[in-house]
A and B are shown apart, each in its own frame.
Chain A
Amino acid sequence: MRKAFADTLVEMAKFDNRLMVVTGDMGFGVFDEFQHLYPERYVNVGIAEAQLINFCAGLALEGFRPFAYSIASFITARAYEQIRFSVGYHELPVTIVGAGGGFIYSQAGPTHHAPDDVTLMRTIPGINILVPGTPSEVKALVKQILEKNVPCYLRLGRYGEDEVPCSSPIEIGKAREIIQGECIAICTVGDMLPKIYKSYQSAYSKTNSKPALYHFHTIRPVDTDTLDFIAKRFYELHIYEESTPNGGLFFEVLQWKNITGARIQVKRFGPTDEFVIGNPTREQLHARYGMNFDN
């Protein structure tokens, strides 16, 4: 996803001279091409997350569209107040990019874990929250971010995520129907999509009755139309996401259920509310939290 992200920025910067990349000394090799082509529009502020966000707020005040890039745990937690006050409160079109959200850096230890990145950002009124699952989603969403004029949080994966064949359009605020099905609607967030899709193919290749698969790349604004549709047609809604239980799609779905009174059973497959001590692999964590898709 990072390559797709960097390539899209290079492509869009050709036509949109407001676009800037600002990093807190992260992203080794990621922005080499951007920096080479647009040296004045690439800024490394150093390991200074507060400065990263405040600087981007100043740029945005003057009409620029900065992408503030750092590791998800640092940029969302350490610079939370700057995002809340300088960006969110002023409704500035700064895109905060959290590389390695969830447990992508699981083996780097709890300082690098960010299952709470989306949860933290969700507390800021007005911020759009995007968690793409594939490189093609990253490309489409980044282009659409530039058409909007709002603060945005973009959680990015790493490299090598599989594409998932699907003709559903990729639009901010719209969930994607990946596979039609019945009884159960599986809902993935972020790179749970290629993972669950692959398991799904093995599990249901020879059966007629199978669950549907939906993908939510936008946590906020969450697609309540699709949730309403799911509530009418399915008995259960299963969520697979690397977010804390007090955030993510699960939180949005609970809110939606409370408001609409929808009668659908919701099951969540994600991390519990705890710090992860030690340096387990991501696969071990998925097994621990029941996030491996079982038929």
Chain B
Amino acid sequence: MQKLKVLMPDQSNIADKIEPLEEIANRIRATVIKMAFNAKETHVSSALSCVDILTGVYGSWIDRPWSREKRFILSKGHACASMYAAMAAFGWIDPKELSTYGVPGSRLPNHPCKMVFPEIEFSSGSLGQCLGVATGIIYANKLKKKDKTYVCILMGDGECNEGSVWEAVNFAVANRMSNLFIIVDNNNTQAVGRHDKITGYTKLENRFKEFGCAVMTIDGHNINEIITVLQCLPFSNNKPSVIIAKTISGYGVSFIEDKQFWFYRSPSETDLRNSLNEIKVPPLI
């Protein structure tokens, strides 16, 4: 936090935002569980770990829906219930549409699909692909002299196992892509194991730094830190910015937090009731 305070801009407008955004984050959390229950969908813990990050991105970083200057890509596509809920919470889509999550033919399938939802930047579901696409978007806009086009991309820590991620990071650093903002949801939970063990207890922060990125680490569930660090972007004028957000999978619901099997489990009616009792705010649907 010491380093963060040095970069911190004027705090007066941030303080006003924290409580409302915390409330919205809780509503999104409740909504994610309800959506997963309705659709009998899984990936609940992955979706919950990034609720606060998405609240910050949609609630404070992007200034208006479908902005062409501030673009967001959810690269960890299996967590899309949170993205859809955040879109509804901030007025990008009608909250009623959340009831169609996971329904065949819906605009909101269980992995984001640009072919049925053209407004989103890109489809996801195959991990490690979107970062390379983001570099293409940034390069293209630079060619078009649109230097104020920024792309923020949310990846999972497990996703950073993929070689294609590092090919893209290499390229972004070599091309001094200071318009590229990478957020890593570092919940230390992968599909069949722990991220730290799988990666030999090395640190993501160090890896990104050694590749040449400007890196900050935050508490990924602290709305104050999230919106503060987003306001500090870009961290450098000639490097991609990376935010390592330390999170807990399933955050916000005690019996889901940090439990591997909740990667695969769809909430039952009892789970839903118990979750909403803990979160204490109603879902959007």
Selected contact of B114 from candidates A41, A50, A90, CB within 8 Å: A90
Is the C-beta of B26 less than 8 angstroms from some C-beta in chain A? no
Complex-state Cα separation, A62 to B145, whole angstroms: 13
Is A55 on the interface with B (CB-CB < 8 A)?
A: yes
User: Which residues of A from 27 to 49 have beta carbons under 8 Å from B?
Assistant: 40-41, 43, 45-46, 48
| Bitwise interface map of B from 109 to 125 toward A, beta carbon under 8 Å scored 1, else 0 | 00000110000011100
User: Which residues of chain B are near A61, meaning CB under 8 Å?
Assistant: 121-122, 133, 136-137, 140
Q: Is B141 on the interface with A (CB-CB < 8 A)?
A: yes
Decide yes or no whether B236 CB sits under 8 A from chain A.
no
Q: Known contacts A51-B168, A82-B164, A86-B129; is A62 also within 8 Å of B122 by CB?
A: no
B171 near A48 (CB under 8 angstroms)?
A: yes
Q: Report how far A51 CA is from B114 CA in the complex, Å.
A: 20
B136, A58: Cβ atoms under 8 Å?
A: yes
By the criterion CB–CB under 8 Å, are A62 and B133 in contact? no
A51 touches B140 (CB 8 A): no
Residues of chain A with a CB closer than 8 A to B115's CB:
89-91
Please report the C-alpha to C-alpha distance between residue A112 and residue B144 in the assembled complex, in whole angstroms.
Answer: 37
User: What residues on B are CB-neighbors of A57 within 8 Å?
Assistant: 132-133, 136
Report how far A85 CA is from B113 CA in the complex, Å.
Answer: 11
Interface of B is mostly: helix
Q: Are B143 and A64 within 8 A (Cβ)?
A: yes
**CA gap between A59 and B140 in the complex, in Å:** 5
Asked whether, in the complex, the Cβ of A59 is within 8 Å of the Cβ of B170, the reply is no
Q: Is B163 positioned at the interface, with any CB of A under 8 Å from its CB?
A: yes
Cα-based distance from A50 to B130 in the complex (angstroms): 11
Does chain A have a CB within 8 A of B237?
A: no
Query: Which bracket fits the contact residues of A?
Result: 20 to 34
Chain A contacts with B in 1-60, Cβ cutoff 8 A: 40-41, 43, 45-46, 48, 50-51, 53-60
Shortest CB–CB separation between residue A7 and chain B, in angstroms?
Answer: 23
Assembly CA distance A43 to B142 (angstroms): 13
What is the bound-complex CA distance between A51 and B132, given in angstroms?
A: 5
Tell yes or no: B167 within 8 A of A by CB.
yes
A55 in contact with B123 (CB, 8 Å): no
CB pairs A–B below 8 angstroms (16 shown): A46-B174, A48-B167, A50-B128, A51-B164, A51-B167, A58-B132, A58-B134, A58-B139, A59-B140, A64-B140, A64-B143, A81-B126, A85-B129, A90-B114, A90-B115, A91-B115
**New A-B contacts (19) at CB < 8 Å, excluding given A51-B168, A54-B135, A90-B123:** A40-B143, A46-B167, A46-B170, A50-B128, A51-B164, A51-B171, A54-B132, A54-B136, A54-B164, A54-B168, A55-B135, A58-B136, A59-B140, A61-B133, A62-B140, A62-B144, A85-B126, A85-B129, A90-B114
